[in-house]
């Protein structure tokens, strides 16, 4: 019997047991001590998460004249530009996530199959861009993709195309730039989950008569799904709130949610409307996480319970 469980047995009042009071007091002291250790963290969560989000929500309930109203939310249904921004945001998020899966899955698979040394070297090339500023990377893409950029100059010099391709300052540019920035967010969790797949499971598959392709399809791929799902969730959610790349690569033609917020607050100084945008984005993100959780189970999102 441990000291803690002994004191729990006697919790709720002394019954004359040997040292009952002292043990109860000791248990309470321990509980207070543990709470005291927890309190800096709790304070931080309260100060930087609960308070700002509550404030955001509060702000969104007032219109420009300072009157309590639902006008900021009504705007989502009334103004076509809001709806268009919403649709664009989701379109970009879907396409970028799809492109990340398309490029990231084979990449993660290759990394997981390489010998340890080679894998860690290749992994550096995945992580290195991760450490570079998003702004720098986006400008780099602009240099590469613009009308007189590297790609267009080369293709025209080679005679492949007569006119420069519209790769920057449009939807394509946003997708290319964002895919590059999002790729590590998909590859890293996917790679980690692929590394945990037991080689013997794949061997067992082949031993039991499944060809290498069938083994991949029936065993490797299903076992990599939790990692793929968490990568997809991370990329999709990050895409929804992304600002820098669409702002620079979109050439003003691709307006995403975060850009709308920036315009509303800095250009029009309408804090209520901006706050409402933030609240809606947060709600949609949470709803999406809930949907993924429901579809794929807790392992994919890791947000709720862990089995």
Partner 1 sequence: MLLSLAQSALPIGISGIEKRFGAVSILSDLSLDVAAGEFLTLLGPSGSGKTTLLMILAGFVRANAGSIKVGGEEIITMPPHKRNIGMVFQNYALFPHMNVFHNIAFPLKQRRVSAAETAERVERALDLVQLKGLGERRVDQLSGGQRQRVALARAIVFEPRIVLMDEPLSALDKSLREHMQIELRNLHRRLGMTTVYVTHDQREAITMSDRIAVMNAGRIEQIDQPEVLYARPRTKFVAGFIGESNFVPVECRNGSVWYEDRKLRMNDAAPSTGRHLMVVRPEKLRLVADADETGGVNLLPATVGDVIYQGDSFVCYATLKDGRQVTLRDYCRSDVLAKLPAPGEPITLGIDAQDVVLVADQ
Query: Interface residues for partner 1 in 219-258 (CB under 8 A)?
Result: 219, 222-223
Is residue 211 close enough to count as binding partner 1 by CB under 8 A?
yes
| Four-residue CA torsion sign, 86, 89, 95, 100 | negative
| Four-residue CA torsion sign, 139, 140, 145, 146 | positive
Find, among 255, 231, 229, 252, the residue nearest to 242 by Cα.
255
What is the DSSP-derived secondary structure letter of residue 188? H
The Cα–Cα gap between 157 and 148 comes to 11
The Cα–Cα gap between 141 and 132 comes to 13
Is residue 209 close enough to count as binding partner 1 by CB under 8 A?
yes
Tell me the closest approach of the beta carbon of residue 122 to partner 1, in angstroms: 23
Is residue 19 close enough to count as binding partner 1 by CB under 8 A?
no
Residue-by-residue DSSP string for 241-256:
T--HHHHHHSTTS---
Burial class (CB in 10 A: 0-12, 13-18, 19+), 259: buried
Is residue 115 close enough to count as binding partner 1 by CB under 8 A?
no
The residue within the footprint of partner 1, chosen from 140, 165, 210, 284 (CB under 8 A), is: 210
The Cα–Cα gap between 303 and 213 comes to 33
Is residue 138 close enough to count as binding partner 1 by CB under 8 A?
no
Find, among 245, 239, 249, the residue nearest to 145 by Cα.
249
Is residue 118 close enough to count as binding partner 1 by CB under 8 A?
no
The residue within the footprint of partner 1, chosen from 177, 205, 227, 250 (CB under 8 A), is: 205
| Among the residue ranges 44-52, 161-169, 201-209, 261-269, the one whose residues contact partner 1 (CB under 8 A) | 201-209
Token match 């609240």: residue? 279
Query: Closer to partner 1 at the Cβ: 120 or 196?
Result: 196
Query: Closer to partner 1 at the Cβ: 151 or 202?
Result: 202
Is residue 112 close enough to count as binding partner 1 by CB under 8 A?
no
- Number of residues counted as binding partner 1 (CB under 8 A): 19
Is residue 218 close enough to count as binding partner 1 by CB under 8 A?
yes
The Cα–Cα gap between 24 and 12 comes to 8
Q: E strands along the chain, which residues?
A: none
Is residue 204 close enough to count as binding partner 1 by CB under 8 A?
yes
Query: Closer to partner 1 at the Cβ: 92 or 229?
Result: 229
What is the DSSP-derived secondary structure letter of residue 2? -
CB 55 within 8 A of CB 48: no
The residue within the footprint of partner 1, chosen from 66, 163, 200, 305 (CB under 8 A), is: 200
Query: Closer to partner 1 at the Cβ: 145 or 219?
Result: 219
Query: Closer to partner 1 at the Cβ: 227 or 272?
Result: 227
| Among the residue ranges 45-53, 59-67, 148-156, 207-215, the one whose residues contact partner 1 (CB under 8 A) | 207-215
Query: Closer to partner 1 at the Cβ: 92 or 228?
Result: 228
Token match 């067992």: residue? 204
Under the rule (CB under 8 A), what is the footprint of partner 1? 198, 200-201, 203-212, 214-215, 218-219, 222-223
């Amino acid at each position: 019997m441990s000291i803690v469980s002994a004191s729990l047995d006697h919790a709720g009042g002394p019954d004359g047991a040997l040292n009952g009071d002292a043990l109860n007091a000791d248990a309470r002291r321990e509980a207070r001590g543990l709470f005291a250790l927890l309190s800096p963290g709790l304070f931080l969560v309260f100060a930087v998460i609960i308070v700002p989000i509550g404030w955001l929500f509060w702000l969104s309930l007032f219109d420009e004249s300072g009157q309590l109203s639902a006008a900021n939310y009504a705007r989502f249904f009334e103004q076509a530009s809001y709806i268009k921004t919403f649709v664009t945001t989701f379109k970009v998020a879907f396409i970028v996530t799809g492109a990340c899966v398309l490029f990231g899955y084979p990449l993660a698979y290759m990394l997981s199959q390489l010998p340890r040394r080679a894998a860690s070297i290749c992994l550096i090339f995945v992580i290195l861009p991760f450490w570079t500023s998003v702004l720098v990377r986006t400008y780099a893409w602009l240099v590469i993709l613009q009308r007189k950029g590297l790609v267009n100059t080369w293709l025209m010099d080679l005679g492949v195309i007569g006119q420069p391709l519209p790769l920057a300052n449009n939807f394509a540019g946003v997708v290319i730039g964002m895919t590059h920035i999002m790729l590590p967010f998909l590859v890293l969790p996917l790679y980690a989950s692929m590394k945990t797949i037991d080689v013997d499971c794949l061997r067992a598959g082949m031993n039991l008569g499944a060809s290498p392709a069938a083994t991949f399809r029936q065993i490797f791929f299903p076992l990599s799904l939790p990692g793929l799902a968490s990568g997809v969730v991370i990329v999709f959610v990050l895409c929804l709130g992304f600002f820098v790349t669409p702002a620079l690569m979109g050439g003003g033609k691709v307006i995403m949610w975060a850009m709308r917020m920036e315009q509303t607050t800095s250009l029009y100084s309408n804090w209520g409307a901006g706050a409402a945008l933030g609240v809606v984005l947060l709600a949609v993100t949470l709803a999406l996480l809930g949907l993924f959780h429901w579809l794929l189970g807790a392992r994919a999102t890791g947000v709720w319970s862990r089995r």
